[in-house]
Structure 1
Amino acid sequence: MKLRNDVTLRKVGNEHIIVEPSQGMVDLSTVFTLNDTAAFLWKELDGREFDNDTVVDLLIDNYEVEREVAEKDAAALLQHFRGQGLIVD
């Protein structure tokens, strides 16, 4: 799977946001806000193929987290991204 390539993560103030493009303009009715960890993962995964294990490994390598917790967190994040249409398979 990959992240959509037509959306871009931006930092506005202290917030990390992804805005849906709409016919050459920004559609502010669809804004996704990410916490610092989700934004880090987005940056690491952007432009590359990945799977659940990739996200788990990134969490374990960069945060003090047990594998079981990382697996649950990765699954929840990917489910959220998928539910928002931010992932293409």
Structure 2
Amino acid sequence: MADDDEPVQHCRLDTGVDIPNALEAAGIEYLDVDDTRTIVIYQSAILMVTATEGDASAAQAFDVALWEPPVEDADRDPVDLLTTFIDDIVATVNGSRR
């Protein structure tokens, strides 16, 4: 789980998404942790994606927490990074946010 200091964004989708398949389709590196959590390397940042409704293979909603900022751009706005990540995943699965 993310500490209180770590930026977190929530995403709710109209349909379930298979998070690992979406990450693969987007060419994003990841490591499954368990049925709900996935560690992601995105633009050299380390993120934790946690399914909050369903599991990682059929998530209706998920949280994304920034664990480590991007190596090449440590001063990048964390909210912008998380928003861009969510937008990329939603676009990859041709989904829409609720």
Normalised by the shorter chain, which TM-score bucket?
0.3 to 0.5
Bigger Rg over Cα: 1
What TM-score results when the alignment is normalised by the length of structure 2? 0.39
Higher share of residues assigned strand? 2
